[in-house]
Amino acid sequence: MLIFIGLGLWDIKDISLRGLEVAKRAEKVYVEFYTSLFFSSVDEISKILGKEVEVLKRSDLEENCRVILEEAKNKDVAILVPGDPMVATTHTALRVEAKKIGVESKIIHSSSIISAICGITGLQSYKFGKSATVSWTKSRAPVDVIFANRSINAHTLLLLDLHPAMKISDAIEKLQEVDENLSKMYAVGVARVGYDNLVLCNKMEELKKYDFGSPPHCLVVLSPKLHVVECEYLRIFANAPDEIERFV
Amino acid sequence: MLIFIGLGLWDIKDISLRGLEVAKRAEKVYVEFYTSLFFSSVDEISKILGKEVEVLKRSDLEENCRVILEEAKNKDVAILVPGDPMVATTHTALRVEAKKIGVESKIIHSSSIISAICGITGLQSYKFGKSATVSWTKSRAPVDVIFANRSINAHTLLLLDLHPAMKISDAIEKLQEVDENLSKMYAVGVARVGYDNLVLCNKMEELKKYDFGSPPHCLVVLSPKLHVVECEYLRIFANAPDEIERFV
């Protein structure tokens, strides 16, 4: 059995009681740190679990995944994953490969930026459209998603490249390279969700000047219209300027 | 201080270590059960926390919220919330009210259907559009969201009314009442996420005939195009029929 266990947003304290219990019982425990930033070391995780934990590289879960799958044929193998497992496509592909060779699998969920972003920004979960990633390589893809979402009055959650970790100012620069008009759009910059949660709402050209501190960062580009509570929340908790009230 | 603590998807074992620690330290602990179904009783929660926990009614968090807010002026008051807090708009509104009278607040996140649905269905997180709720009252709103999302090739997560708990067959019936064309669309029916995770993909008219067992249920209406891994995952884990391969 292959068991994907979510570690949650920030550090080992974000694992669920169920995740901890199952990891402790597993015969072999791996952890991967490349799909999200995570702030407990493998030693800290080992200590909480009371057993050895081995760090996986990307290749161990992709081209060389057969080693782990063979092991999971006869043992309960747990893979600890930052955030909620399966939000990263690597994990869904691995689960498919496991099933093909007769290895059962299960998922133990945890907190994820995908739902946490609602609480942090006050933006309503039912108003988020498709998300996208801003990567270091120039790409129209996230810009197309922003415009598609705005066409149906939806917000856009933009996750930022992690290799190396991108800041909000870098992301806005990348978006502007594709379409300068984005500079005037309003967005919410968010840093370190699950820890100290710095949140600021302004035009992208203004957010770009601000130092959000250390990563992880993400960015939400607002829908053309805001719900009255969304607006009030952004004014109170994200220091949004007066003029966003005209989007209500 | 007002502290919103996510309980996660299913029962008290889905709380995070951080959530448990903070709840144990809080001077007063409340729980609410009306924004999601949850499968631990208040007594079981009290036992794990080693302290008394009081159940809140909807009105305690809405029109009568002043009582809790006053209490939070001088004490650390924790409110335990099924899923991830703030996905329900009731909680964002309460956080705004708290700030207005000078009460600080924080959020401790947990697992939510919003991210868990990706792992359960294999549908990619970046392809979900806006979500909607199907309620017992006839409404065009969820149907409009489905069509808006499909116009940008996005999936639609439909949450189902909880008062009383709606089943997938009821939800499809409600959608058909608004637009009979939906019957031929492909969707994924999902029951009991975080527990036994029953997942089936088919045309809505076929899903309607199936008994998914006890709630909670939800439904994902598929985008017109599927990614090859999404399709493979649905074939393997959701018993999707052959013909969905033509959407890749």
One-character DSSP codes across B156-171: EEEEE-BTTBPPHHHH
> B114-247, which class in CATH?
alpha beta
Q: Which of B109, B122, B133 sits opposite A119 (nearest CB)?
A: B109
Burial (Cβ within 10 Å: 0-12, 13-18, ≥19) of residue A173: middle
**What average pLDDT does chain A have?**
96
| Residue B74 CA from chain centroid, whole number | 32
C-alpha span between B73 and B164 (Å, rounded): 35
- ipTM for the whole predicted complex goes beyond 0.90: yes
Residue A221's SS3 state is strand
Chain region(s) in chain B for CATH 3.40.1010.10 = 2-111
pLDDT at res. A113: 95
- Find, among A42, A51, A44, the residue nearest to A24 by Cα: A51
pTM comes to 0.96
pLDDT at res. A22: 98
C-alpha atoms less than 13 angstroms from C-alpha of A130 in its C-beta half-sphere: 27
pLDDT at res. B103: 97
Strands (E), chain B: 2-8, 28-32, 54-56, 77-82, 105-108, 132-134, 156-160, 186-191, 198-203, 217-221
pLDDT in tens, A131-188: 999 999 999 999 999 999 999 999 999 999 999 999 999 999 999 999 999 999 999 9
For B:111-140, CB contacts with A below 8 A are: 111-112, 114-116, 118-120, 122, 124-133
**For the domain bounded by A2-111, which CATH number is listed?**
3.40.1010.10
Q: Pick the residue from chain B with its C-alpha nearest to A98.
A: B236
Residue A203's SS3 state is strand
C-alpha span between B129 and A205 (Å, rounded): 26
**Which helix or strand (DSSP H or E) is residue B142 part of?**
helix B141-151
Residues of chain B with Cβ-Cβ distance to A12 below 8 Å are 17
Residues of chain B with Cβ-Cβ distance to A188 below 8 Å are none
Q: Would you write out chain B's pLDDT as a tens digit for each of its 248 residues?
A: 999 999 999 999 999 999 999 999 999 999 999 889 999 999 999 999 999 999 999 999 999 999 999 999 999 999 999 999 987 788 999 999 999 999 999 999 999 999 999 999 999 999 999 999 999 999 999 999 999 999 999 999 999 999 999 999 999 999 999 999 999 999 999 999 999 999 999 999 999 999 999 999 999 999 999 999 999 999 999 999 999 999 99
Is the Cβ pair B119, A85 closer than 8 Å? yes
Chain region(s) in chain B for CATH 3.30.950.10 = 114-247
Size of interface A-B (CB pairs under 8 A): 193
C-alpha span between B28 and B69 (Å, rounded): 12
Q: Pick the residue from chain B with its C-alpha nearest to A142.
A: B126
Interface contact B21, partner A, CB < 8 A: yes
Is the Cβ pair B92, A17 closer than 8 Å? no
Residue carrying structure tokens 């794990």 = B48
Residue B103's SS3 state is coil
Residues of chain B with Cβ-Cβ distance to A238 below 8 Å are none
N residues, chain B: 248
Question: What phi-psi label fits residue B102: left (phi over 0), alpha (psi between -120 and 50 degrees) or beta?
Answer: left
C-alpha span between A46 and B171 (Å, rounded): 45
pLDDT at res. B128: 97
Residue B119's SS3 state is helix
> How wide is the angle at C-alpha B38 spanned by C-alphas B37 and B40, nearest 5°?
155
* Contact criterion met (CB below 8 Å) for B169 and B215: no
